[in-house]
Structure 1
Amino acid sequence: MVRCFNKDFLLCDHENPINEAYAWIDKYIDPSNKADIVFGMGMAFHLEVLLTSFPNKKVIIVEPNMDLFYQIACIRNLEPVIKKAEIIVDEALDVILERINSLFWDTEKGGIQVQPFEVYGEMFPDMWDNLRDSFIKLANNFTVDIATRRKFGELWVYNNIKNLDKICDASDAGVLAGKFKGIPGILVSAGPSLEKNIHLLKGLEDKCVIMAAGTAVRVMESFGLSPHFMVGIDAGEKEGEIHSNVKNKDIYFIYSNQVSTYSVNGYTGPKFVMNYPVDMYTAGFFDYADIKSDFF
């Protein structure tokens, strides 16, 4: 029995927890999945059955409450679960999602499922809703990433090879991390409202760091303004045209090595190459060259 928010909950069936565990498996678990993320340790009967029934599955357990986990560990021997599963206890949502995201890129075939042990969905409804909704967004983003890679993969490889010849002219963008603490920052994107509001940027150049994404640098220059940094990641020629035509050569250009070759060759101002998470070629190069650079 657990009291949570002034309500009492049973963590398992006192009469036959094993039958309850098998019923949970039959109801929710897809045998074809390569990985199951289970929200809730409970008394671990359902996890023992899951790990025994599907020894080849990757099982990750998200236990939202450290005090509850401690009490469970005092009552039940969790060694069989600890040895075979990965347990994430009382961690921030971002940490959990980062771990789940790594499962998407695992080339082993099979689905990934996030499923609560029912009583945990009742005890921690907000946590479960956030995890479920974030997982759905993560899966949708992954689908978009895959489609993007299929469309642009060949061009990315081409650009990476061509741009490597110029990489020695750039600095590592990783050194910029943490350098502007306490200084306000403005990220300028080329949305439809930019021209209506760009006058608000005048006079702020010495008071904050201004960074322009994509075509925003072109719009800013047309109004007599320049950002401190501009960023480029797109591989197509249109991206190259943006940076080749930038008039102010004092803007620091932060780019991913998969960017258009016209961007790298056309802009002659100072450059920073970033270890961009989607660009695994550059990450591999940094590793090979023994350059320590976190994802930017």
Structure 2
Amino acid sequence: MQLLGMMDPGKLSIFTARSGAVSIEVNGAPYHSPYDPVREADKFCSALKVEDADVILLFGWGLGYCGAVLQRRMKPGTRVIVFEPNAGLFEISRAHAGTREALKHGVFQFVVGDSVRQFFDDWALNGCRETDHFLWIEWPPAAVQHREMLESLKADFRKCLRDKAANLLTHFRNGEMYFQNALANFRFQASADVGWLFGQFKNVPLVIVSAGPSLDRNIADLRGAEDRCFILSMDTSLRPLLAAGITPHAVMAADPSELNARHIAGAVPEQVYLIAEQGIQPSVLESADRRFLFGLGLFPDPLFAKFGFAKSSLEVWGSVATAALDLACRMGNNPVIFIGQDFAYSWGRAYASHTIFDGLPFSAEWSGPLKEMDIWGELVHTTETMIAYRDYFSRKLRTRPDIRFINATEGGILRLGVDILPLREALRLTGKRRTDVAAILRDRYRIQRTTDKALTHFLDVLRLRRQDCGCISAFLELVAKQALLENDSGTIQKKIQWGIQLMEQAIAG
């Protein structure tokens, strides 16, 4: 149970209803019926499809009468998350049978008092399945007394649903491409594991360079900082940095598409390390002499782990910058400075100068149907996807109060969880201490030993439809997610046959 704050409970008056059950008033208004609160709860819940729900979110617990109805009607395995804004009321309810029973019932999770406001900051539908049915319930008296909190909570819940849907859509679109690329990149699996960088840059300033339009405003200020900061370029910002005469220490890539490969292919200087997800286009890995690879925890990671050469995972949430943020936290960098991280079409543009999109026609009004307040207090065009990425950033930043995050973009909509400073001021705060970032990268760069036995093992698994090692289920989760959700056995068998053909081609060379 989360009980992180005590709201003013107001005036609480307990009395006996005409039915003999206990009832209560809050600030003179009935929270439960003065006649029969048990019958009231039954009637209220009668129109709700409780039996169909996998996850129930209940706003307003009171003395637990609705909870008792839910316990009788919900199917086994259903989770119930209860939001009770009035901490004083919840303490009183502990003496009543409905609450006592729910507290013993492992499926009930109580979020009480001020902690209700922050709930979705920490719980982004974690542990929920793509097929789960959600049931949102608002107890009317709670909704009336806590309207502002309720609306904020519902907005956060809608964001979580939006983000989960976006992730699922990405899974549908990219699963096959990811596996094909990872298989084609098997020859690069001997590259260094990104995990060997974890903890190696403790308190070293890091500048994460993205290619938002605001990068043009301050990219020149980054010159000369190479010996004081770890400069980590995103794939899209490599060409703008090189055009400005700045060579980053490393460039990061995570998008498996051919379009994104064009940002890097043929452009990586010899001394620059590539930090890449193992399922990107092979042309990207071919462009660099020295590579640190990471996984996403998806197949074929479990396969490679069986044979001792799996790569460490990074958290990637739709954008390579999210992977860079996770890497920064794991490497120990502090402070972490963002530039070019607009999450918006600042100044009416999509990207900084010198990207592969430079010079192409673009309309911020047409491409960005939404508007958000930027750091200057002005409305700027953006998209739901970019807002989702921004929200992910903000949630992630709040989980690491030990790290100072500085938004030196000088534009865009990233406001929460960061200090907003001009890049010159942010760099001044890093001090004059020199750090040989290249030497640390060189020291941590180690070749891994791989074996083709991993490929022959998986081919055998596919041919025999073996279920004993978990590989085939992980493979189908990646490449046939929609078919699994729809229980489409025909498509599932076609995906297995497709996998067999790919494996035979890979082994044949």
TM range (shorter): 0.7 to 0.9
Structure 1 residue aligned with 2:123: 97
The 5 A counterparts of 1:125-136 are: 125-136=147-158
C-alpha deviation, 1:234, in angstroms: 0.9
Relative to structure 1, is the Cα distance of residues 26 and 157 closer, same or farther in structure 2, using a 3 angstrom cutoff? same
Relative to structure 1, is the Cα distance of residues 38 and 57 closer, same or farther in structure 2, using a 3 angstrom cutoff? farther
**Separation in 1 of the partners of 2:260 and 2:201?**
27
Structure 2 residue aligned with 1:117: 139
**Separation in 1 of the partners of 2:223 and 2:199?**
26
Structure 1 residue aligned with 2:271: 250
C-alpha deviation, 1:122, in angstroms: 4.1
Relative to structure 1, is the Cα distance of residues 69 and 199 closer, same or farther in structure 2, using a 3 angstrom cutoff? same
**Separation in 2 of the partners of 1:80 and 1:178?**
50
C-alpha deviation, 1:220, in angstroms: 0.5
**Separation in 2 of the partners of 1:254 and 1:130?**
38
Structure 2 residue aligned with 1:225: 246
Instruction: Give the aligned residue type for 2:259.
Output: K
Relative to structure 1, is the Cα distance of residues 4 and 251 closer, same or farther in structure 2, using a 3 angstrom cutoff? farther
Instruction: Give the aligned residue type for 1:15.
Output: Y
**Separation in 1 of the partners of 2:95 and 2:271?**
63
The 5 A counterparts of 1:89-238 are: 89-90=111-112, 92-94=118-120, 96-98=122-124, 100-105=125-130, 107=131, 111-173=133-195, 175-176=197-198, 179-181=201-203, 183-238=204-259
Counterpart of 1:24 (choices 28, 38, 44) is 44
Per-residue CA deviation, residues 22-62 of structure 1 (Å, 9 max, x unaligned), is 23323555653332122333211101101212224623223
Structure 1 residue aligned with 2:401: none
Instruction: Give the aligned residue type for 1:176.
Output: F
C-alpha deviation, 1:72, in angstroms: 2.3
Aligned length: 287
C-alpha deviation, 1:174, in angstroms: 7.6
Relative to structure 1, is the Cα distance of residues 160 and 88 closer, same or farther in structure 2, using a 3 angstrom cutoff? farther
1:4 and 2:25 are equivalent in the alignment: no
Where does the alignment leave 5 or more consecutive residues of structure 2 unmatched? 1-6, 12-25, 316-325, 327-509
**Separation in 1 of the partners of 2:283 and 2:108?**
46
Across the aligned residues of Structure 1 and Structure 2, the Cα RMSD in angstroms comes to 3.3
**Separation in 1 of the partners of 2:88 and 2:313?**
37
C-alpha deviation, 1:178, in angstroms: 8.5
Q: Give the TM-score of the pair, scaled to structure 1.
A: 0.79
Residues 249, 270 of structure 1: 8 Å contact kept: no
Instruction: Give the aligned residue type for 1:280.
Output: L
Counterpart of 2:101 (choices 57, 75, 80) is 80
SS at match of 2:52: coil
1:49 and 2:39 are equivalent in the alignment: no
Larger Rg computed on CA atoms: 2
**Separation in 2 of the partners of 1:233 and 1:113?**
35
**Separation in 1 of the partners of 2:51 and 2:98?**
26
**Separation in 1 of the partners of 2:94 and 2:300?**
44
Instruction: Give the aligned residue type for 1:55.
Output: K
1:62 and 2:82 are equivalent in the alignment: yes
Per-residue CA deviation, residues 208-264 of structure 1 (Å, 9 max, x unaligned), is 333222210121111111223322111122333333323323333322222222222
Relative to structure 1, is the Cα distance of residues 291 and 250 closer, same or farther in structure 2, using a 3 angstrom cutoff? closer
Relative to structure 1, is the Cα distance of residues 284 and 16 closer, same or farther in structure 2, using a 3 angstrom cutoff? farther
SS at match of 1:156: helix
**Separation in 2 of the partners of 1:252 and 1:48?**
59
C-alpha deviation, 1:11, in angstroms: 4.0
Instruction: Give the aligned residue type for 1:232.
Output: A
Structure 1 residue aligned with 2:498: none
SS at match of 2:274: strand
SS at match of 2:276: strand
C-alpha deviation, 1:95, in angstroms: 5.9
Where does the alignment leave 5 or more consecutive residues of structure 1 unmatched? none
Relative to structure 1, is the Cα distance of residues 145 and 77 closer, same or farther in structure 2, using a 3 angstrom cutoff? closer
The 5 A counterparts of 1:31-42 are: 31-42=51-62
**Separation in 2 of the partners of 1:174 and 1:19?**
62
Residues 286, 292 of structure 1: 8 Å contact kept: no
Residues 156, 235 of structure 1: 8 Å contact kept: yes
**Separation in 2 of the partners of 1:71 and 1:165?**
64
